[in-house]
């Protein structure tokens, strides 16, 4: 398997699951950008601490795939800021 795809997929999966959990707790519509933004508003700062405990973070932090990990993290975080579920 291509490790680039695996890293990208793992990061997207993390963001997807994290966001859906928050949206379920808030009874927010995942298809509404405004609802996603409002539900996530109090949780943006907690994304990184949770992400830093994942296996993909531990594998890529300070290693050859670090730049890819950072790029993919930013991409998914930006989707959340736009009100989209990764």
Instruction: For residue 10, give its domain range.
Output: 3-81
For residue 86, being part of any structural domain is answered with: no
Question: Coil, strand or helix: which one is 24?
Answer: helix
For residue 38, being part of any structural domain is answered with: yes
For residue 71, being part of any structural domain is answered with: yes
Total number of domains in the chain = 1
Indicate the burial class of 63 (C-beta count within 10 angstroms; 0-12, 13-18, 19 or more): exposed
Task: Quick: pLDDT tens for 48-86.
Answer: 999 999 999 999 977 779 999 999 999 999 999 999 999
Mean pLDDT of the chain: 93
């Amino acid at each position: 398997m291509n490790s680039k795809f695996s890293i990208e997929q793992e990061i997207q999966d993390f963001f997807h699951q994290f966001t859906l959990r928050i949206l379920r707790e808030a009874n927010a519509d995942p298809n509404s950008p405004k609802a996603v933004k409002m539900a996530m508003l109090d949780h943006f700062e907690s994304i990184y601490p949770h992400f830093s405990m994942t296996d993909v973070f531990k594998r890529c932090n300070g290693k050859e795939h670090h730049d890819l990990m950072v790029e993919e993290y930013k991409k998914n975080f930006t989707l959340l800021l736009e009100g989209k579920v990764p």
